[in-house]
């Protein structure tokens, strides 16, 4: 069996639909090759680092970003199409707020310490894009933590503090200094950047090539 020896660092934001799609495509590739060589790590990148802590009304956010409702609808048509191809249904109607995701990134960080990072990222994507929950709300984050086997009371206490806040912001800034300006961005073995929500077939090809290099 191939040892998992290749890092796959993923810069992502839980409110990025392309990140959700990209993760779904990657997950299918990883599931198809159980002895894949990847060690996956998720890293923070806030699409809206200047978002107010309480977030804002999603409709107002989209119309401001895309210059009106028509522009917002046009921008999200390819998102809906690619999401369906990836086997996920994004519930646009349920999404009422665009949150500040700093606390969500803190949860992903703490989940990583408990080796539950993959579950945390998945829970956040589904909470936001499928269930329409406000993942900027501490109670929601505590509930999601509980759902993946973390101690919700500990998570809520940490969220009420400044624990790891500056670290997340520093790591976010480091990604931008590296020249990353969009997510998802996948970094293979610390040196090969693969931007965008890549199809499952590409990841299967990458995995196959890596396995050949490791086990010639």
| pLDDT score of 215 | 78
pLDDT digits (tens, 9 = 90+) for 99-142: 999 999 999 999 999 999 999 999 999 999 999 999 999 999 99
For residue 80 the two structure tokens come to 């809906």
Q: Provide the residue ranges of all domains of the chain, joining segments of one domain with +.
A: 6-214
pLDDT digits (tens, 9 = 90+) for 20-45: 999 999 999 999 999 999 999 999 99
CA distances from 5 to 41, 93, 195, 215 (A): 13, 42, 21, 12
Q: How far apart are CA 212 and CA 206, in angstroms?
A: 10
CA distances from 93 to 6, 13, 54, 128, 138 (A): 39, 20, 20, 11, 22
Is the pLDDT confidence value at 4 over 90? no
| pLDDT score of 73 | 86
Superfamily of domain 6-214, CATH level 4 = Glutaredoxin (3.40.30.10)
Instruction: Please state the pTM of the whole predicted model.
Output: 0.95
Is the pLDDT confidence value at 1 over 50? no
Q: How far apart are CA 25 and CA 85, in angstroms?
A: 9
Count other Cβ atoms within 10 Å, centred on residue 17. Answer: 22
């Amino acid at each position: 069996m191939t040892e998992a020896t290749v890092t796959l660092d993923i810069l992502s934001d839980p409110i990025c639909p392309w990140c959700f799609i990209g993760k779904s495509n990657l997950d299918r590739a990883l599931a198809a090759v159980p002895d894949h060589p990847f060690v996956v790590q998720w890293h923070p990148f806030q699409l809206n680092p200047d978002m107010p802590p309480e977030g804002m009304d999603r409709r107002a956010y989209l119309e401001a970003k895309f210059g009106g409702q028509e522009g917002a609808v046009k921008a999200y048509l390819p998102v809906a199409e690619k999401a369906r191809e990836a086997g996920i249904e994004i519930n646009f109607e349920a999404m009422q707020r665009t949150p500040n995701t700093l606390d969500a990134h803190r949860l992903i960080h703490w989940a990583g310490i408990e080796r539950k990072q993959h579950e945390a990222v998945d829970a956040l994507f589904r909470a936001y894009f499928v269930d329409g929950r406000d993942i900027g709300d501490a109670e929601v984050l505590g509930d999601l933590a509980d759902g993946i086997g973390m101690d919700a009371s500990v998570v809520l206490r940490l969220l009420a503090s400044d624990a790891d806040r500056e670290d997340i912001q520093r790591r976010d800034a480091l990604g931008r200094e590296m020249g990353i300006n969009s997510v998802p961005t996948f970094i293979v073995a610390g040196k090969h950047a693969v931007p965008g929500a890549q199809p499952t077939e590409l990841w299967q090809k990458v995995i196959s090539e890596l396995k050949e290099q490791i086990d010639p």
